[in-house]
Amino acid sequence: MDETTTTNSVNLSRISRREFARRAALASAVAAVAPAASIATPAPQQAADLPKLSPEGHAEVEARIQSIFSQYASRFSEAQKADLRRLCNLAQPPLDRLRAYALANGDGPGLYLKPLLEREKNPLENTRVGKTPDAETQP
């Protein structure tokens, strides 16, 4: 009788493949829902993160936002619209720096593509007639 109770206790401590799959599915579902709940709350400090823009840059940002909203306003929620405003404001300083770089029509590209190709040497190259290693040392 002692043997059957020890066998049952061993079987109880093991989980079946089906039970493992259930627990794994539950854990993945909880992991998928938990980050979504933390993303749903917006951060109130968005206005403090915006860069300082020149009047021309600010006008360009507003024009870009109005262009997007005139075409796609019905597709965005209020949170998405606020996020679009933030992204347009963050994209403007790199555009200003890029436009400040002076170029003329005759200027070439700033970076030439020079690919580095390492080709394998032919292992039989030194065994060809007249190309033996000893032939180079002989006068």
Count of C-beta atoms within a 10 Å radius of residue 89: 21
pLDDT at site 106 = 83
Cβ burial of 92 (10 Å; 0-12, 13-18, 19+) is: buried
pLDDT at site 40 = 53
pLDDT at site 25 = 82
pLDDT at site 23 = 84
Cα separation, 91 vs 63, whole angstroms: 13
Collect all residues with Cβ–Cβ distance below 8 Å to 73 and sequence separation of at least 6: 81
Tokens 């066998």 belong to residue: 7
**The model scores a pTM over 0.85:** no
Write out the chain's pLDDT in tens, 139 residues.
Answer: 555 555 555 555 688 888 888 888 888 777 777 665 555 545 444 455 778 888 899 999 999 999 999 999 899 999 999 999 999 999 999 999 988 888 888 887 777 777 777 666 666 666 666 555 555 555 5
Contact 89, 47 (CB under 8 A): no
As given in the structure block, the two tokens for residue 6 are 């020890």
